[in-house]
């Protein structure tokens, strides 16, 4: 980790605030950190190549089921002149495609290994860390775009922890994507953690070609949900994340900002998306420990929105070929295919909706399919516990954990009084782009 610190005064609303930056890790670093890479080479090689059907990229990885065109290190200029680089994966000789955007500073070098808890046989290695796998999606008629966010790797500028700058970049990139000759003008976003968080910020701007979002476990407020959660400074995980980011310039130093500005100001307000402005269709996945994601589902203004609460981990839950998905939804094999299906206007796409209410000390979950309903009833703990999540990487803080449990109990009690009954056999209409 570099100790090189710099400062820049930036405008946030009506306030000018001094922001602390640290130097990102150099491109030749051996510390690949959160990217989970161990051997792939960081290099800038613009060009187009064809990845052949049957190719594999690491031992036991998924073999490509289809020829894929790989457009590498494509530069896209943002409104302020900064160029961001992306890799684009397309089905060979296909056009009129919807696109799925995978956006983060975690790199796009290949192959990307499976994350912890996920078998190598579940992914091809073409995916970004925590992003959708092109091997699956290209075979189902989509383009997948892996973006190195501003400041990361060879992308120009500084790395920002979400906020208005990042949202503007995503907006510009979506408009560029929709104008490409191979695209049908519809773009979705998918992914978890950072890749999920950026979706809230982007969708709050309602870019005209953003057709749907599918955020997995994405917090909604950097101040309240991360570095000063419950008023308690907890920067260990964020400091680790920041210290492993790779780029040619700087990255916002959240640890230093939490120390410098422990109280709410315009800077922190810029790190919380205006969820009520979101109107695009949304397929949202949360865990019981991630109550902020459940709160996002409640607050967004989308008429077509679906929530699924899992009781595992975000990484094992995300790959498209999990066995329980095949059993539960035989018509489709991927959960976020429901949302990405909006991009094609596919009214036959299977949709899932998780309806939650709490009569007494129990929760009722119902997964809705156009033709069938699956329901389960049991104690809240059987679907996951607030104690299972939240301490990953950031260290265990008893007061924060106590706050989590207290906060969730209050939320669940309020939900019981606020939400209508969710009877067995209830049907919800299939969503579509209007």
- Give the residues across from 379 on adjacent strands: 362
The topology (CATH level 3) of 22-418 is Rossmann fold (3.40.50)
State the pLDDT at residue 55: 96
Of residues 294, 326, 321, the one with CA closest to residue 307: 294
State the pLDDT at residue 311: 78
Burial class (CB in 10 A: 0-12, 13-18, 19+), 371: exposed
What is the pTM for the complete model shown?
0.77
Of residues 412, 403, 407, the one with CA closest to residue 383: 412
- Sign of the torsion angle spanned by Cα atoms 51, 56, 58, 61: positive
CA dist., res. 357 & res. 159, Å (int):
40
Q: What are the sequence ranges of the domains in the chain? A: 22-418
State the pLDDT at residue 411: 52
pLDDT tens across the length of the chain (434 residues): 556 999 999 999 999 999 999 999 999 988 777 666 666 889 999 999 999 999 999 999 999 999 999 999 999 999 999 999 999 999 998 899 999 999 999 999 999 988 888 888 999 999 999 999 999 999 999 999 999 999 999 999 999 999 999 999 999 999 999 999 999 999 999 999 999 999 999 999 999 999 999 999 999 999 999 999 878 899 998 999 999 999 999 999 999 999 999 999 999 999 999 999 999 999 999 987 777 899 999 999 999 999 888 877 788 877 654 433 322 222 233 334 444 433 333 322 222 222 222 222 222 232 322 222 222 332 222 222 232 222 223 334 455 555 555 555 555 555 445 444 443 333 333 333 33
Beta carbons within 8 Å of 10's beta carbon, 6+ residues apart: 16, 17, 19
């Amino acid at each position: 980790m570099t100790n090189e610190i710099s400062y820049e005064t930036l405008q946030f609303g009506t306030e000018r605030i001094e922001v602390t930056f640290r130097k990102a890790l150099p491109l030749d670093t051996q510390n690949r950190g959160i990217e989970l890479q161990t051997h792939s080479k960081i290099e800038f090689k613009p060009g187009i190549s064809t990845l052949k059907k049957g190719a594999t990229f690491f031992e036991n990885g998924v073999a490509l089921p289809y020829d894929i065109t790989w457009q590498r290190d494509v530069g896209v200029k943002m409104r302020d002149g900064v160029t961001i680089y992306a890799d684009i994966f397309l089905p060979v000789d296909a056009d009129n495609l919807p696109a799925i955007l995978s956006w983060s500073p975690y790199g796009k070098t290949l192959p990307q290994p499976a994350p912890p808890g996920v078998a190598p046989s579940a992914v091809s290695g073409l995916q970004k860390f925590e992003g959708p796998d092109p091997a699956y999606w290209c075979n189902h008629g989509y383009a997948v775009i892996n973006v190195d966010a501003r400041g990361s790797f060879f992308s120009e500028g500084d790395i920002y922890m979400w906020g208005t700058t990042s949202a503007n970049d995503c907006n510009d990139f979506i408009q560029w994507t929709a104008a490409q000759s191979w695209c049908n003008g519809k773009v979705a976003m998918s992914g978890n953690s950072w890749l999920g968080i950026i979706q809230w910020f982007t969708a709050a701007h309602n870019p005209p070609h953003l057709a749907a979002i599918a955020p997995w476990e994405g917090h909604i407020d950097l101040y309240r949900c991360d570095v000063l959660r419950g008023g308690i400074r907890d920067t260990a995980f964020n400091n680790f994340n920041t210290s492993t980011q790779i780029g040619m310039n700087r990255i916002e130093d959240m640890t230093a900002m939490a120390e410098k500005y422990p109280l709410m100001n315009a800077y922190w307000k810029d790190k919380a998306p205006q969820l009520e402005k979101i109107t695009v269709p949304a397929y949202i996945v949360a865990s019981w420990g991630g109550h902020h994601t459940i709160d996002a589902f409640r607050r967004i203004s989308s008429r077509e929105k679906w929530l699924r609460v899992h009781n595992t981990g975000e990484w094992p839950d995300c790959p498209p070929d999990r066995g329980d998905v095949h059993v539960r939804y035989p018509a489709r094999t991927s959960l976020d295919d429901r949302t990405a299906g909006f991009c094609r206007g596919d009214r036959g796409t299977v949709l899932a909706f998780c309806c939650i209410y709490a009569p007494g000390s129990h929760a009722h979950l119902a997964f809705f399919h156009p033709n069938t309903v699956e329901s389960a009833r049991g104690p809240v703990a059987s679907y996951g516990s607030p104690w299972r999540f939240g301490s990953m990487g950031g260290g265990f803080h008893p007061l924060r954990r106590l706050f989590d449990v207290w906060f969730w109990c209050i939320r669940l009690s309020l939900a019981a009084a606020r939400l209508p009954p969710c009877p067995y056999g209830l049907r919800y209409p299939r969503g579509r782009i209007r």
